[in-house]
Amino acid sequence: MPFEDKYSELSGTESVKSLTKDQEFLLYTIDYLTKWMVSNEHVSSNIGNRVWIKELPLWAIIYYQITHGSYETFDYAPTSIQFFGRSSFTINLSYEAVDDIEDLRESDILEKIRLSTSQHGFVTAYRITEIGNAYLKNIPQDVINEVSKLFFCECCQKQLHFYMNMGDNPSVLLDCPDCDVSDVYLDFLKSEDVSYKSKPYFLKICDLLKR
């Protein structure tokens, strides 16, 4: 379908209603993050729509937003993933967000790309399509304000920097370039604990595997 037709559909009131508040929040977050990461990484802003945001930093930021109560319906669960095709990490992943990203893809608002890593794993990245960019023009101001406020230093109002280290001591950090007040280590890579009691379950299959 040509872009104009799709946009004309999206620009109607019904089309705006077709995205939930969480989906709008997520869409604007992806847009904001893409531009934010471009300035973070000192990439030229003239590269247009060639920038994709990788899913791991996106998930980290979504976790950060969930812990700040930004989404109405998202929660997260510890999930084991392999980073760069090698070490396995437990991350706090929001499956509701993953599902909404898929919904946005189905609506042609988001595009997904898969790229190989040097260690023979795969990385997924997303970018907003022209339809998505058209939709963004109708995003309510309160969503815009809500998203952006989490990325500014409470103390000096400067934009925070995002750091992600997946080496031996993995960490995700939002850091203020001017003061240490707003430095936030995200517990994205730390599984939350619950109290529990368990008892051993002895398998009957052992009898088969005995020699």
Partner 1 sequence: MSDKNNSLAGNIKDKLAEIIHIKDPKIFVIEWLPFDSNQLRELNKKLDIEKGSNKTLLTGLIDGQPNVPIFQSKGAYTKVIVKDYELDSFVNLQAIIDLPEEEEIVQVEEMAIFISRDGFITYSLELKEIENLNTYMSIDKITRVVADLCQDSSVVIDSLLTEFQRNFIEIIFGNPIHRPKTICYVGDDIKTRHEDINDYYDGEDFEIELNQILGEGHESFQMGRNLFFKGSRGTCAIVDNFDKDTEYQIIFWGIQHAINNFVDNFMSRIWELYDQTKHVKIIVDEAVAGNTDALNRVQEEITVITSTISLVGQIKEFLKDSCQDLLDVYSKNHINTLNGFYEVENSLKSSQKRILESEKIISGLLTELDGLRNYVATLSDLQMRKMSKVMTKNTKSMNEVLQANTRTSEAIDMIELILAGSIILEIFAFAVGEISSDQTFFGAIISGDGFGTARIVTLVLFLISVFSWITIVILLRRSKRKMEIEALQDFFVTMSVNKKIDITKMEEYISKRTVQTKNVENDMENIILSYVWGGEDDPNLLGKNIEKVSISYNETNSLLLTLEIETSELDINQDKLLGYVLDDLKAKEVFIK
Cα separation, 55 vs 29, in Å, equals 12
Q: Which of 8, 39, 49, 119 binds partner 1 (CB under 8 A)?
A: 119
Among residues 35 and 68, whose Cβ is nearest to partner 1?
A: 68
Give how far the C-alpha of residue 77 lies from the chain's centroid of Cα atoms, to the nearest Å: 14
* Residue 112: strand pairing partners: 126
Judged by CB under 8 A, the residue of 8, 49, 87, 157 near partner 1 is: 87
Query: Binding to partner 1 by residue 114, rule CB under 8 A?
Result: no
Nearest residue (CB) to partner 1, 137 versus 197? 197
CA geometry: angle at 60 spanning 170 and 163, to 5°?
55
Asked whether position 45 contacts partner 1 by CB under 8 A, the answer is: no
**Min CB(114)–partner 1 separation in Å:** 14
- Determine if 48 is a binding residue for partner 1 (CB under 8 A): no
98 contributes a contact to partner 1 by CB under 8 A: yes
3 state DSSP class of 163: strand
> Which residues make Cβ contacts (< 8 Å) with residue 96, sequence separation at least 6?
22, 71, 73, 74, 75
Nearest to 85 by CA among 58, 124, 122, 125: 122
Element (H, E) at 186: strand 184-186
- Residue 157 touching partner 1 (CB under 8 A): no
- Select from 24, 31, 55, 96 the one that contacts partner 1 (CB under 8 A): 96
d(CA 102, CA 109): 10
- Cα three-residue angle 116-49-166, rounded to 5 degrees: 40
17 touches partner 1 by CB under 8 A: no
165 binds partner 1 (CB under 8 A): no
* Binding characters for partner 1, 66-85, by CB under 8 A (x = yes): xx-----xxxxxxxx-x--x
CB 89 within 8 A of CB 76: no
Q: Does the footprint of partner 1 cover residue 210 (CB under 8 A)?
A: yes
Please report, as ranges, the residues that interact with partner 1 according to CB under 8 A.
22, 66-67, 73-80, 82, 85-90, 95-96, 98-99, 118-121, 168, 187, 191-206, 208-211
